Amino acid sequence: MPLTVYNTLTRRKEPFVPLDPHHVRLYVCGPTVYDFAHIGNGRPYVIFDVLTRLLRHLYPKVTYARNITDIDDKIIVAAQKNKEEIFDLTRRTTDYFQEDMKAIGNSPPDIEPHATTHVKEMVSMIATLIEKEHAYEKDGHVLFSVRSFPSYGRLSRCQHDEMIAGARVEVAPYKRDPEDFVLWKPSEKGVPGWKSPWGYGRPGWHIECSAMSSKYLGETFDIHGGGQDLIFPHHENEIAQSQACFGPKTFARIWLHNGMLTVNGEKMSKSLGNFITVHQLLEKLPGEVIRLVLLSAHYRQPLDWNENTVFQCRQSLDRFYTALRGRDLSEKQPACETVKVALEDDLNTPLAISALHDLVTRLNKARNEKEKNKLASTLQASGEWLGLLQQNPERWFKGKTGIDENKIMELIEARTQARKEKNFLEADSIRDELLKTGVLLEDTPEGTLWRQQ
C-alpha cells in the first residue's frame, strides 16, 4: 500500500506524494542544548528516525535535516547559573545529546546545522521580510507583523485572542501588536551577538529553523516534524515568516506531530520530581528498551512512561532475542510485509511490533531448523525497520553484569562439572551465586547459556 500520513495542516490522513520521487526532504526541529535531553525530547527523534528508515526503503534518496539550537535565552541563563562560557556549555550538551540519541538507536541526520553558524542566512531573511513589509524594526528589535500575514493560524487553528494568550509574550513597548514575534533582538554586554543592520544582537528562535531548512532543503520541501507542543507558536511562526519571505505555498507541505509524554500519568516537571533524562535512563536500562517503550504507542497518541510498560518492553525484547539466539542468520531475508504495511499506515508502530511477536510465534512452532533460521532472519530484517534487534543476541542477554565474562564462564564450567559428578548442592550454589550478580542460567541441549536478569 502507498505511504499515508496524518497531516496536521489538513487534519487528515493523506497519501504521501513527494515533490521529487527521487529525493525526499525532511526537517525536524532539534534540541536547544543547555541540559540533558529528557525522555519527552527523545520521543520525536525516535519516531522520525523510524520514518526516515521507512522513507529510505521506499525512495532512492532521502535528506534528513535536524538542527541544533545553540543560542537561546535558556542557554544564556544556564551558562550564567553554571558559571561557564556559553559555547563550552553548548558543545558539552550537544555531545551528550548525540551520544544519548545514538544509544537509543537513532542514526544521525544527514545534516545537523548549528544555529550559530547560520546567522548570515537569518539576517538575510529578516532583511527580506522588512523589505516586503512583513517585519519592522524598533529599538534594536525586529518583529514579524502577524497582521501582515492573513493566513496566520492555519496550522494551529487558533483564534486571535488564543494566539496572544498562547504565545505568552510580554506586550513590550516596541511591539505594534501583542502577537507580533521577535526575529532579532539586541544583545547586552557579555551575551553572544552578531553585527546586523539593526545593531549588535542575536536571532529569535523561530527564524533559525526557517533559515536552516530553506538553505539545506529548499524553499519548499516535503515533511516538517516535531512534538505537538511546537505547533503553536513555533511552527505557526515558521510558516508565516517563510511564506512571507519566499512566497505562498512554499515551505513544508506536510506537518507531522507526535503526542506528548507523561510519567506515571502526570505531566513531567522538575517540581513534581518526575523529570527523567535519557542520560539517566541509560544508566539503568539498555537503550533498546527505551526505544521500544517510545515506539509502543502510536506516535500521535499520548505515551505514559511507567515501570509496567518498561517491564513489558524488556520482556518483549527478551522474547525477540531468544528467538534469534543460536540461529543461522547468514541467509538474509526481506522484512515481513505486515511490518511494512503497518508502518506505511501513518507509522503504526504498535501494529508493527505486534507483527514481530507473530513472527516469533511462527518461529517457535516451526518444525525444522531451516524454516526456523529463515523466520529468524525475517524477524531481524523486520526489526531493522524499527531500529530494533540489530545487536548480537548474546550481547543483549549478557549486557552489563558488573562481573567479568571469563569469570562467568569459569563458574558455568564448574557447575557443569558438579552436575556431572551429581554434586547438585554445589551446582545449585554456583547458580545462586551467579543469580546474585544478575546472571540467569538456561540449560539447553547445546549447553548452558547465560543472560543478564
Residue 350: pLDDT over 80? yes
Indicate the CATH number for domain 284-395: 1.20.120.640
Instruction: Tell me the average pLDDT across 273-293.
Output: 95
Contact 63, 111 (CB under 8 A): yes
CATH annotation of 4-258: 3.40.50.620
- In the chain, pLDDT over 70 holds for what percent of residues? 96
Whole-number pLDDT of residue 210: 98
Q: What is the pLDDT, as a whole number, of residue 44?
A: 98
Condensed to tens digits (0 to 9), the pLDDT of residues 87-103 reads 999 999 999 999 999 99
For residue 127, give the C-alpha cell. Answer: 532583511
* pLDDT of residue 373 exceeding 60: yes
Least confident of 175-184, 195-204, 433-442: 433-442
Burial 102-126 (b: 16+ CB within 10 A, else e): ebbbbeebebbbbbbebbebbbebb
Q: What is the pLDDT of residue 449?
A: 78
Residues β-bridged to residue 449: 442
| pLDDT value at residue 442 | 79
Distance between CA 153 and CA 340 in Å, rounded? 35
pLDDT(160) > 60: no
> If you search the block for the grid coordinates 545529546, which residue do you land on?
97
pLDDT class of 443 with cuts at 50, 70, 90? confident
Predicted local distance difference test score (pLDDT) of residue 328: 94
What is the pLDDT averaged over residues 284-302?
A: 97
Confidence check: pLDDT of 218 > 90? yes
- DSSP bridge partners of 223: 26, 254
The region of weakest confidence among 278-282, 284-288, 363-367, 410-414 is: 410-414
pLDDT of residue 438: 73
Average pLDDT value for the chain: 93
Where in the sequence of the chain do the CATH 3.40.50.620 domains occur? 4-258
**Quick one: pLDDT at residue 402?**
54
Phi-psi domain of 265 (left: phi exceeds 0; alpha: psi -120 through 50; beta: other): left
**Closest alpha carbon to 411 in 426, 395, 392:** 426
Q: Kindly report the pTM of this predicted structure.
A: 0.89
Residue 448 has a pLDDT of 85
- The model's confidence at residue 156, banded by pLDDT at 50, 70 and 90, is very high
At 163 the pLDDT is: 59
Give me the mean pLDDT over the 242-265 stretch.
97
Please report the pLDDT score of residue 5 as a whole number. 98
Task: Check: CB of residue 125 under 8 Å from CB of residue 207.
Answer: yes
Of 136-145, 315-324, 409-418, the range with the lowest mean pLDDT is 409-418
Query: Is a pLDDT exceeding 90 seen at residue 277?
Result: yes
pLDDT at 41 over 60: yes
- CB-based burial label for 133 (10 Å; 0-12, 13-18, 19+): exposed
Mean pLDDT of 320-345: 96
Q: In what order do the strands lie in the sheet with 181-186?
A: 135-138, 141-144, 181-186, 201-203
Q: Where is average pLDDT lowest: 111-125, 183-197, 395-409?
A: 395-409
Q: What average pLDDT score do residues 11-23 get?
A: 98
The answer on pLDDT for 249 being more than 60 is: yes
pLDDT of 74: 95
Give CATH 1.20.120.640 domain extents, the chain.
Answer: 284-395
Cβ(212)–Cβ(113) below 8 Å: yes
C-alpha cell at 359: 513472527
pLDDT of residue 453: 64
